[in-house]
Structure 1
Amino acid sequence: MANEQVPQRWMEAAKAGDISLLYGCIQGYPKILDSIDEIPFVDTPLHIAASEGHAHFALEMMRLMPSFGKKLNPQGLSPLGLALQRREGLSNLQNMGGLTPEERDLLNRITSTIRRLINFDKELIRVKGRESFTPLHYVAEKGDFDLLAEFLCACPKSIMDRTIRDETALHIAVKNSKPEAFKVLLGCLCRIREHHDVLRWKDDEGNTLLHIAVSTSQAQIVKSLLKTKNVDKNAKNLAGRTALDIAIANPGETDITKALDHAGASKSASLPAECSFATFFRSPQSGIEVLARQQFYQERELTMEMRNAILVVAVLIATATFQAMLSPPGGVVRGGTGDNNNQLTTNENHINATILSTTTNNNLIPTNNVSYINATIFTNTTTTNPTATVDPSKQVLLKSLDGKTVSTPSDATRVVRKVMT
């Protein structure tokens, strides 16, 4: 097979959904799929198969080249996005005057292919195309609440994705006056019990969902938003206007104005002036701010992983100490006479454990708490000399939080507990 004929052959295979013909192209030119993937923007075989409703071919292509699922064509559409666009066109024709049997069959095949693709890879729902539009954004814009619900069930986190205009699917549904799609999105947020702060997010003009609903005179959506706990009724947009300001500016929106008044919304003139960053940075630091910042950095540096590491070392020290007390090792030089009477005697041994930080920014222990833990624990079960002492240079090497010297296992335990809390 001549290389110049390969593109035409694989396009025919994708349009027909012919997997055998696809592998015939691969046999003639094994690098065919890699060569397609090297092109930044291209209609891949997956684009064509998805838009033609060939589910089996599309899934085989996803298995062979998963990267095709995130590939954009020259129009900035992913394979799933192109399939949704083709489906929307057929749905519009159906609503206008009906479809031919062939077109109805194509619509059903495309819908089935879309569902098969998201079951194969849920992250396809979050692939950002032109203007960072995702498939979820598209179905929210068109008000396709059935597919919207399926997408949310498959990938709830997709509700957090934003366009280049900082719009979520909720913003898009409200801006395009799709109340049913909005209800699906709001119902999803209420049920998954997370990402509720999405209701407070603003678009690039500083408008919240409440701003948009008021400005587009969607009273039902306004009332639904006012019933939720996570909506800021007094948020200001970049123009400095609250939702109530917008409602008052439209004399015909008495129903919305009453709903906002009843919910306790305020006009911007009655709200305290917002502190700018310049004003904040020029102001002196308060004591509370200093304490809060110290606490923040301590918690950030001492992660759970670090705490676990400290706990492991503490357990190792305690275990080694216990074992040494039960069965002390031999070979330790006995204490003698004269100047050596003050040295530890037989069966005296020590365990040394060290935790050190090797970097400046990622200390195992926050630098403002402990620079290192270096513990040497001595055990002695058979000392006959009650006046025996330890060489000061070897006695204690544990620096505690409060700067006190640690000379016993109980002191070490105290320090470890203090670090862990």
Structure 2
Amino acid sequence: MIGEAVYDAASEEDVTKFKQLLHQDPYLVERVSYPCLRNLLHVATLRGQVAIVEEVLKISPGLARFSDSQKSSPLHIAVEEGNLEIARRLLSVAPEMCWWRDGQGLNPVHVAAMKGHVEILEKLLEEDPSPVMERVHRGQTVLHLCVKHRQLRALKFLVDKLGDLVCAKDDDGETLLHWAARTKQVEMVKYLVESNKVEKESKNSMGRTAVGILKERHDDSEGIISIISPPKAMSWHKTNPKLLEYLSKKREQTMVVMTLIATMAFQAAVSPPGGVWQEDTSSHRAGEAVIATTHPKIYKHLVRANTTAFVSSLITIFLVAVPFPIGLGALFVFTTYVMWVSMAAIAVSYGGSVLVSAPNTQTRSLTGIVNVVLAVSLGFFGIKLVRNIVMMCCRRLFGSRFVDDDLTYLRVRVFQTLNSILCGLLTPDP
């Protein structure tokens, strides 16, 4: 009967009646118990009666260290209810309760984060910052709890306080961004991405990133995906995997050709046609090219052509080997033209070498050879230009698939025809 009277006084915050009852029996506070193993301090805290809590703590401060059947201390209850004043009074009596865990394995800091009570979080961290580092089920941190329970304000507060804990993963290898993406919290994702404190490409134990989790859901997640991984400018080569494979093969072929031309140009420089003088005389020195004396004009053009071939091949190798922040298509076109220059220059160098070493060519010049090289190069470029124009027109008129199939058929017919002609020429008449 007296227990019910004390309960009513504590629930209604009737301090006068509560004091009268305690005056009649000073040990009443410790003897009275309620369902779920709760004492009078649990009841007053749950009801938010600050004055009653103060009176109970004056008489029996040890009640603050008792837990109910759910292993919840009075501080757990005060934090869950968001009562900062009661939490302060309990901490002043039993600060070690910051470490205590309830039946779910949560300490008061975890509970405050889940409920989003930032003011209480601040008070708890002032009292003892260490419990905030404690992990809960499956290695989740207090920040994971903020994300799971959609407490953005509490997350922002704790992120500013905890630093490296922001990048922590749970036992499944999932970061805060994984959880925010999984629960489709747009504002939470935006904050984590803009803060630049969480690695966007981090993978969980299943090898999935936050974007990968969203793509697997097959629902309206494009908005969140664009926040995590903003769409980049689409370059033309990325839209065609076959073209990308073609350019990759051309890259390898270009490297081989340019390496060969560079080797040829280097060899022609150190071992010029006609050799070098072996001894010093009044007109030359040992080691100088013989053709520099016998054919000075041709030698001058030969050195220029050889240098052009060597330098252009080195430039091409450098462009192909070293990645640049430009489009692969633009790089391919540029290196193609540089490769043509290198090939034309090495052809001129070859022609000059032939003029020097072949008999009865003393009166000839490189002009004819240069004209031939230019004519062949321009002819190839002209044919390629016409082909590209025809292909572009045909694709617009008939579609790319039809044209590609038709060209394949045409190539097969051309090879079959050439093969028949050659067989006819090589086969003797009966």
Specify the TM-score bucket, using the shorter chain as the normaliser. 0.3 to 0.5
Q: State the TM-score, normalizing by the size of structure 1.
A: 0.44
Which of the two has higher C-alpha Rg? 2
Q: Which has the higher helix share?
A: 2
TM-score normalized by the length of structure 2: 0.43
